[in-house]
Chain A
Amino acid sequence: MKSLSFVATMIVVAVSSTMVTAQDRGESLFNQTCVACHTVGAGRLIGPDLAGVHTRRDESWLIDMIQSAQSLIDEGDTVAEALLTEYDGFIMPDQPLSVDDIRAVLGYIALQRGDASAVDEPAVEVKLTDLLPDNIQLGQDLFVGRVRFQNGGSACIACHNLNTGDVMTGGSLARDLTDSVPRLTRFGVDAMIANPPFAPMRVAFEGKKVTEQERAAIVDYLQFVDANQDGTEAQNYGAVLLQYGLVGIAVLLGFFFLLGQRGSKETVNHTIYKRQIKTA
C-alpha cells in the first residue's frame, strides 16, 4: 500500500511538473518571440492584442498563421487578408516554431486574464521637444556603429537604411527605418529591438541583448529622424557602389597589365603550333 501511494505521488509530481514546464515554455516563447508586436490584454501594438485569441480563431488557423502568414495570404484566406489591410500591409514574419511550441504559447495566452478592449494605445506620447540632444547623438552613434553596443551586437546600419543626410546610407537587407516610430510606435520599436521577431536579427543579437538605455537612445534618434525628414528621396547607393567598383576594377586590370609586361607572352611552343596550323 505504501509503495502504491508513493507511485501515485510520483505520478502527480511528474504530471504537474510537466504542466509547469509547458506553461513556462509558453511564457518564455511568448516573451522571446511574440512580445515585440503583441500584448495579451494591454491593447494593440504592431499586431493585434492576443487576449482571448484562442476563443476567436481555430487552433489550426492560428498554427498556420503563426508559422507563415504569407502562405495564408497567398492561399486567399479572408481573415488573414483582412488583418493585413487593418495593419497597413504589415505582414507578420514567419516564425520557425513547431506545432508543440505554438500550442505552448497559446496555452500561456489562454491562462492570461486580459481584456482586449481595455487599452488601445499603451505607449506614452513623447514629444520631440522632450528628447535630449545627447540621447539623440548617442542613438545616431549606436545606429551607425561609432559607439559599439555594450554586449557586442552589430550596428543597425548593417541592415537598415535611414532616409537622412546625417549618416551614411544604411544596409538594404532589412526594412528602411525612417518612419519606424510613427509606423510601429516608440513602444513597438523598443520591443522589436529587445525581442527581434525576425530571424536574421534575432540570431544577430542572440546573447548580445541591447541594453534598455541603448534602446531608448535609438528610439529617440529614430523619432528625431522621422520628424526631421525633408521628403527627398535617398540616393540609390547600389548604383554608386557599382560605379566605385567599376573604377576599382579598371585600376586592378591596369595593375595586371603592368605585371603582364614581364615575361613571355606566348607559350614556349607557340611557334611550333603556328607552324602546324600553317601546314594543316
Chain B
Amino acid sequence: MQALETFLFIVLPYIAMVVFFVGTIYRYRVTKFKYSTLSSGFLEKRTLFWGSMPFHWGLLFLFFGHLAAFLIPSGVLAWNSEPVRLLVLEVTALVFGLSVLWGLVMLIVRRFASSRIRSVTSPMDIVIISLLLAQTILGLWSAVNFRWGSSWFAASITPYLRSILILQPEPGAIVALPLSMKLHIVGAYLIVLLIPFTRLVHLLVVPVHYLWRPYQRVIWNWKKEAIRDPKTGWTVTRPKNT
C-alpha cells in the first residue's frame, strides 16, 4: 500500500480522534463562553430558517443513519434484504442528503450576502463550511453513482471502522473503494479533527435538557406596551442620570 494511503486511512483517524478529545476538553476549560454555535440568529433570521432547518434535520438523519450502519450492520443488512425496503431507505437518505446540500447552500449564501453575517465570519468558518460542502457533495455523488451504499457501508466499511477502534487497522477494503468514497472518509476525519477549532463544538453542548426542563415564567415589572408607545411618553419609568 502506498505511503499516502497508509497515512490517510491508518494514521489520520488516530490523529483526528486524539485532537478531537484533547482539543474539545481543553477548549471547554479555557474558553467556556465561546463554546457555542456563536449564533447569528439575532442578526438575520429569514434565510437562517431556510438554511438551518433543512441542514440540521438532514444532518441528524444522516448522522444516525451512518451510526446505525456502524453499530448494527447486521440490522441494516436485514432491513435491506427486501428490495423495496432497501429502496425506501436509500431514497430517504438521499432526500435528507439533498436537504443538507440545500441548507448548506442557503447558509453559505446568507453568510456572504448579509453584511452583518459577513462581519462575524471567521476564517475558520469558511474552512469548515467548505469542508462540509465538499463532504456533502462527495456523499451524494457516491450515493447516486455507487448505489446501495447503505448495504456496502454495513458490509465493507464497518469492519474497517471497527478495526480502527480496536487498534488493529485493516484498511485493505477502503483502499479498493472509488476515489469519491476515499475522499468522503478522509473528509470525515478532517471534520472530526477540526471540531475543537470551530463553532462545530456546539454539537457537544446541545441543550437537550430544554426538552424536559420545566417552563420558565418571565414576569415583566412594567407595562411593555405603554413604554413602546411614543405617545405615552415616559410615564412608567423615567430615565434617570444617577
List residues of A whose CB falls within 8 A of some B CB.
93-94, 96, 144-146, 148, 152-155, 157-159, 167-173, 198-204, 206, 237-238, 241-242, 244-246, 248-249, 251-253, 256, 259-260, 264-270, 273
Contacts and interface: CB of A to CB of B under 8 A. Distances in A.
A29 to B, nearest CB: 14
Contacts of A252: 54, 57, 95-96, 99
B34 interface: no
A145 B80 contact: yes
Contact of B98 (A169, A204, A249): A249
Interface in B157-179: 159-160, 170, 172-173, 175-178
B1 interface: yes
A237 B144 CA distance: 8
Contacts of A242: 94, 144
Interface of B: 1, 41-46, 49-50, 53-54, 57, 74, 77-78, 80-83, 86-87, 90-92, 94-99, 102, 116, 143-149, 151-152, 154-156, 159-160, 170, 172-173, 175-178
B173 A200 contact: yes
Given A172-B147, A253-B54, 4 more contacts: A145-B80, A168-B86, A260-B50, A267-B45
27 contacts: A94-B176, A96-B1, A146-B82, A148-B81, A153-B155, A154-B154, A158-B148, A170-B148, A171-B146, A171-B152, A172-B147, A199-B175, A202-B172, A203-B156, A204-B152, A204-B155, A238-B144, A241-B94, A244-B95, A245-B98, A248-B94, A251-B95, A253-B54, A256-B54, A265-B49, A269-B42, A273-B43
Contacts of A248: 91-92, 94-95, 98
A238 B145 contact: yes
B83 to A, nearest CB: 4
Contacts of B1: 96
